[in-house]
Amino acid sequence: MSYSRFKPYLMILPVVLVMAIFIIGLINGVLQSFGIIPAAGLTKLTLSYYQEVLNNGDLTASLWLSVYISLATSVIAVVIGVLVSVAATTSGLVKSKFFQILKIPVIVPHTVSALLMLNLFSQSGIVARMAYRMHLIRGQEGFISIMFDKNSIGIILAYLWKEIPFVIMIVVTIMANINSSFGEAAVNLGASKGKVFKHITLPLCLPSITTSFIIIFAYSFGAYEIPYLLGATDPKALPVQAYVEFVYPDIAHRPFAMVLNSLMIIFTVAIAYIYYKILSKNLVKSGMSND
């Protein structure tokens, strides 16, 4: 029996084992959300925990807060990222080494970006101290509070500092290649730059723009560290609230945490499905155009 016959299976075995552990943990979490925790004496399948969570104003507030943070972050990051990509491409700045500095925030951990926002925009931060020295405010406590506020401005700023460069990194390369090939050809045939962008550049970049939007939304919806460090005490973002419910001393309380986790999974799967449908539609269109 040849070893080479089993080599491909042995090579993927570590990945399969990791995925199996993940799937088992996921199934266990879903079962716990339906009230199945034998160690706590809970053995009856029930929807009561979902009903209680959805009827609990504090927990539903956490859900909608996370949706708001993710949607605001994704929309603003994509709009600004695309505009910067357009400006950099049309001006030729994308070819300069200086432009590569924009990529630095992408590799910085989110925890560091949260601390950066605190140092800059808290009432004891650099911007507040500068405003005080310039006599724009009477005291540092007079500086507008955007950290730990219920509008989650600090959280959104921390995400934008990282995600706008992420959008630029994804979009600008494709946009530059399009402009240097199809765009120049269209201009030589008499099309204006505005029409080139509207009818050629933007449609061809749309899959990349959609991808970056979905990635940012999914990540910011399920991320824990920045909402934990910069978020308000009440309401908490959904991942933070899920952790609070998870560490509750009574293990019989665990299903509430798993319900919140299940809701995050449902949202993430829904986003992934939307992305799949959009991608499939674009592939069909490209196939039809090639035919």
Encode pLDDT of 96-120 as tens digits. Answer: 777 778 778 888 888 888 888 888 8
Whole-number Cα distances in Å, 289 to 208, 211, 282: 19, 21, 10
Torsion of CA 216, 219, 220, 222, to 10 degrees: 160
Comparison of pLDDT for 11 and 33, the residue scoring more:
33
pLDDT tens, position by position, 74-100: 999 999 999 988 888 877 777 777 777
Query: Using one digit for the tens of pLDDT, what is the confidence trace for 119-152?
Result: 888 888 888 888 888 888 887 777 787 888 888 8
| DSSP characters over the chain | --HHHHHHHHHHHHHHHHHHHHHHHHHHHHHHHTT-BGGGTB-S--SHHHHHHHH-HHHHHHHHHHHHHHHHHHHHHHHHHHHHHHHHHHHTGGGSSGGGGGGHHHHS-HHHHHHHHHHHHSTTSHHHHHHHHTTSSSSGGGS---SS-TT-HHHHHHHHHHHHHHHHHHHHHHHHHHIIIIIHHHHHTT--HHHHIIIIIHHHHHHHHHHHHHHHHHHHHH--HHHHHHS-SSSPPHHHHHHHHHT-S-GGGHHHHHHHHHHHHHHHHHHHHHHHHHHHHHHHHHHHHH-
206: amino acid identity, one letter: L
Whether omega for the bond prior to residue 38 falls within 30 degrees of 0, making it cis, is no
User: What DSSP letter does each residue of 2-47 carry, written as one string?
Assistant: -HHHHHHHHHHHHHHHHHHHHHHHHHHHHHHHTT-BGGGTB-S--S
b/e per residue 118-155 (b: at least 16 CB within 10 A): bebbbbebebbeebbeeeebeeeeebeebbbeeebbbb
| Contact (CB, 8 A) for 34 and 53 | no
pTM of the model: 0.82
Please give the domain boundaries of the chain with CATH numbers for all domains: 41-51+60-280 (1.10.3720.10)
Q: Taking all residues of the chain, what is their mean pLDDT, rounded to a whole number?
A: 83
Tens-place pLDDT, residues 254-274: 899 999 988 888 888 888 788
Q: What end-to-end distance do the CA atoms of the chain give, in Å? A: 47
Q: What is the per-residue pLDDT for 258?
A: 92
What are the backbone angles phi and psi of residue 25, rounded to the nearest 5°?
-65, -40
User: Strand pairing partners for 42?
Assistant: 37
